[in-house]
Amino acid sequence: MGRYILKRLWRALITLIVISMLIFVIARVTGDPIAYLAPEDASEQELAQVRARLGLDKPIYVQYAFYVGDALRGDFGNSLRYNRPAFEMVLQRLPATIQLSLIAFIVSTILGIMMGVLAALRRDTWIDGALRLLAVLGQSAPSFWIGILAIMIFGVHLQWLPTSGRMGPEYLILPSLTLALFSMASVMRLTRSAMLETQTQEYVKFLRAKGVPESQIIFKHMLRNALVPVLAVLGIQLSHLVGGTVIIEIVFNWPGVGRLMVEALLNSDLPLIQAGVMLIAISVVLVNLLVDLSYGLVDPRIRIE
């Protein structure tokens, strides 16, 4: 188990290094940073002074070392539009995105597993068919279309729920459910397949022959083994949720990092884009690391290794 943890930590570190290099390269490829920082009428001498002050006159590997050092201190420069520290602005929006992603993740995981177990236990019945149809619709319909449809039905026509902003718990319902639908469908289908495969295992037949209660067989033995492949995709699903918040935050006017990133892209605000992308990347890598480490709690074979 110790070697497994060290391998996962090493992979997470390598991933973050590669991401930081990509962000650094993309920032340089998109144009000279001086063009964003210096006045339009600046002379060549003034441009050279700005380059020297920012370390842009040094070799590229030295610039990258400075970039990593600044990033470790949370210094991505000031926003070109707001003239405020970019990382500070992203951190202010982060709680809203975490709240939305976490609620959607919890909802999609719990409901997806419950629906998958129910569909497997009621295989080839109308319940199984209805749940599988819902899963297909959840995976095929675009999230922005579902969001607009939810706003029209529950916000405009029925007027049951608010559709814009973040001013109370009720404002979370529509965006979180819309964001959770795709992941819930994926978890449901995977859980159903894993449960059906587990039902045919010899140990399940042995437990039933011994007269072990069916509920104990399902939840203590079958479900635990079926959760191993489900856990394998939970990190991917959470990554999808984090990426999907960009669209959901725009549709529901949710004040999170995704919406801030879209505004930064429209304004060519490079420091703000770098800070946001790096913070989202760190969050996704850490979540995937936690999911990888949780395998050992579910699958004893990993602990033995």
Tens-digit pLDDT profile for residues 223-281: 777 777 777 777 677 777 777 788 888 888 888 888 888 888 777 777 788 888 888 88
What are the pLDDT digits (tens) for 172-191? 888 888 888 888 888 888 88
| Fold category of 87-304 in CATH | MetI-like fold (1.10.3720)
Query: Closest by alpha carbon to 195, among 121, 124, 131, 135?
Result: 121
| Cα distances (Å, whole numbers) of residue 72 to 33, 66, 94, 275, 301 | 20, 10, 18, 11, 37
pTM: 0.73
What are the pLDDT digits (tens) for 204-222? 777 777 776 767 777 776 7
DSSP conformation letters of 87-104: HHHHHHHHHHHHHHHHHH
What are the pLDDT digits (tens) for 57-99? 677 777 788 778 877 777 777 777 777 888 888 888 888 888 8
pLDDT of residue 304: 45
Res 299 pLDDT > 60: no
Q: How far apart are CA 296 and CA 303, in angstroms?
A: 5
Enumerate the domain spans of the chain: 87-304
Percentage above 70 pLDDT, the chain: 82
Contact between 100 and 166 under an 8 Å Cβ cutoff? The reply is no
